[in-house]
Amino acid sequence: MIGNARKYLLECITYTPSGVTTISGSTIHDLTNAFTGTTATGGTEISFSYPSITLPDLSLLSEDNYNKRVSDFLISIGISDMNRKSQLVSGATIYELSCDPFSGVTTTQAPTTTSVVPTTTAAPTTTQAPTTTSAPTTTVAPTTTQAPTTTSAPTTTQAPTTTAAVPTTTVVPPPATRFNDATYSTIITPENRYLVGGNFNTYDSGASLIDVRRIARLYSNSGFDNTFESTGLTNGFNNIVVDLKLTPDNKYLVGGLFTSYDGINASRIIKLNTDGSIDNTFPTGTTLNERVRNINITSDGKYLIAGHFSLWQGTQYPKIVRVDSGGTIDTSFNSINGFSTSIGLDTIKHVTITSDNKYLLCGNLSFAYSGVSINYILRLNDDATIDFNFDLTGFDGFGITNWSVETPDNKYLIGGEFTSYSGVTANRIIKLNTDGSIDFTFTGGTMFNGNVNCILVTSDNKYLIGGEFTSYSGVSANRIIKLNTDGSIDSSFNYGTGFNAGVLNIIETPEGDFIINGSFTTYNGATNQGYITKLDSSGNEVW
């Protein structure tokens, strides 16, 4: 293997004028070493078999969209973690795949026939080759990613019939500043890309300033994904995107303060296809009369929507409603007479669906639900009735709760703006048993000096916490910290000087890294974070 770069030929994928692409019985060849024609020599053959597949009509698609359709196929056979660049060649498609997006290979010259140049001379590892140089008119450039230190030519060279280059879809390199305003939420798509929502309207790709309107999709290296329709002055949302969720049909449910998308009326919630177009199977128009703060997908594929609203398509459903994938109200969740219909009273900020299929509600909830007084937290049964097995009166005074998670031991970790619970000091975080009593095994001293906005249970069953705080039990902790299950600090996560402004959301990637959303612009002294950053499991900046 030459560096991290490898080359593969996926045979039997054809792109014909009629637009019919047939895939059957193919073989992937590892073309790290030389090959001739369409048969690999000196490489490792990776075979697989599957039923013959005919893709739909692709003749009207642009090359980029065609490549995306074929890329989707590659993902379906397990090549999801590689950087795909496709080039159309007579009767076949050559894919250049890299195990590392930063391998340095950013452009490739393709012949218009299936004859491929052998590369029999190994390249030394001391000199990096330019990544954008076109091949000469009589020879095709060697396929290695590094140039030799001498001027000796490869021992054999076969000239193609033409040297015309075919454009490729290239991952944008990591930018310097990214977004121009706060990011609120990120989800990971099936292609291992990041859909980001917030209050931004531009994205610095490093090469240019791109107009985006509060939603954008990034590659996992933070490069801008221009296949998602959100660019341009008239596209995207007219106000903040607060929450995003991936639906069971791999589309995007988006909620927030907005009232339009791409100039089309969309009141606070909308469902988008994977290319950013509107999914018209879900209602747009005057769906909600006030903001959405949180979206959950239930175990049976329905959408639990919570926030500050009082109406769903003109029907009274204050602050919380459950609908099916087509937007029809699930009347078995009868929250019609739950919260006050007054916009000025009560806001749900976060909902956790528990392992026993109940709903733990957090927010500015200080009035009543179905005539019963509540203090900033509430647990509902699956039918929207109050679960009286959970204490409703614990938080004292100004006890706003912002976030909750169910812990691995089936208890609840609550974060927010409160300072006590049932008369016990609890500065912005507390762990509760399933009945709402305090779990005193979680003790962290004086705890936080500022609000907790979000909590993530990490893959190692610890707690990564973000917010507005600057210390935890007297230890400097600027807006992020990782805690052990007993509330002590996990010193293996080294956040250094932390963030210069608030953290609003944290998710973990399949690789064990963390995507952090917020209003910050620096992390641990590094500037130009652009309101989003990626940290590894030790707290080091990835980008």
Per-residue pLDDT of 33-42, as tens digits, reads 322 333 333 3
Check if the beta carbon of residue 295 is closer than 8 Å to that of residue 245: yes
Which of the four pLDDT bands, split at 50, 70 and 90, describes residue 526? confident
Most confident of the ranges 228-232, 357-361, 526-530: 357-361
Q: Is residue 309 part of a domain?
A: no
Instruction: Indicate the pTM of the whole model.
Output: 0.69
pLDDT at 208: 81
Q: Determine the number of helices (DSSP H) and then strands (DSSP E) in the chain.
A: 1, 45
| pLDDT over 90 at 445, yes or no | no
Which is more confidently placed, 29 or 468? Answer: 468
> Does the pLDDT at position 372 exceed 80?
yes
Average pLDDT for 248-257: 97
In a domain, 229, yes or no: no
Note down the domain range covering 90: 5-147
pLDDT-based confidence at residue 177 (cuts at 50, 70, 90) = low
Asked if the model's pLDDT at residue 183 lies above 50, the reply is yes
Residue 30, token pair as written in the block: 């590892």
DSSP letter string over 116-161?
-----SPPPSSEEPPSSPPPPSSSPPPS-SEE-SS-PPPS-----S
Of 41-50, 62-71, 81-90, highest mean pLDDT: 62-71
Give residue 234's pLDDT band: very low, low, confident or very high (50, 70, 90).
low
Q: Which residues of 393-422 are buried (b: 16+ CB within 10 A; e: fewer)?
A: ebbbeebbbbbbbbbeeebbbbbbbbbbbb
Residue 131 counted as domain residue: yes
Asked if 329 and 349 touch (Cβ cutoff 8 Å), the reply is no
166-175, 347-356, 416-425, 534-543: range with lowest mean pLDDT = 166-175
For position 393, what pLDDT does the model report? 87
pLDDT surpassing 50 at residue 496: yes
Q: Which of 119-128, 243-252, 530-539 has the lowest mean pLDDT?
A: 119-128
pLDDT of 352 strictly over 60: yes
Two structure tokens written together for 48: 């697989």
User: Residue 205: its pLDDT value, please?
Assistant: 79
Distance (Å, whole) CA 390 – CA 400: 17
The mean predicted confidence, pLDDT, of the chain is 75
Residue predicted with more confidence, 254 or 167: 254
**In-domain check, residue 40:** yes
Position 129 scores a pLDDT of: 36
Instruction: Please check whether residue 22 lies inside any domain of the structure.
Output: yes
Task: Scan for tokens 């459903």, then name that residue.
Answer: 317
Which range has highest mean pLDDT (113-122, 230-239, 424-433)? Answer: 424-433
Better-scored residue on pLDDT, 146 or 298: 298
**What is the per-residue burial (b if ≥16 Cβ within 10 Å, else e) of 88-104?**
bbeebbbbbbbeebebe
Residue 14 has pLDDT above 80, yes or no: no
Structure tokens at 298: 């239930």
Q: State the CB neighbour count (10 A cutoff) for residue 134.
A: 11
Q: Specify burial of residue 37 (Cβ count, 10 A radius: 0-12, 13-18, 19+).
A: exposed
pLDDT at 174: 52
Token representation of residue 495: 């956040």
pLDDT value at 272 more than 50: yes
- Specify the residue for token string 């600057």: 470
Quote the DSSP letter at residue 206. S
Task: State how far Cα 425 lies from the chain centre.
Answer: 36
Asked whether residue 59 is assigned to any structural domain, the reply reads yes
| pLDDT interval class at 226 (50, 70, 90) | confident
| The two structure tokens encoding residue 463 | 């707690």
CA 261 from centre of chain = 20
Number of domains in the chain: 1
Within a domain: residue 402? no
Mean pLDDT confidence for 157-185: 57
Q: What are phi and psi of 522, to 5 degrees?
A: -135, 150
Question: For residue 260, is it within any domain?
Answer: no
Mean pLDDT of 260-271: 94
Q: Among residues 302, 272, 70, 77, which one has the least CA distance to residue 189?
A: 272
- Residue with token string 């642009």: 62
Determine the pLDDT at residue 230: 61
Instruction: Determine the average pLDDT of the residues in 476-484.
Output: 98
Q: Which stretch of DSSP H or E encloses residue 476?
A: strand 475-476
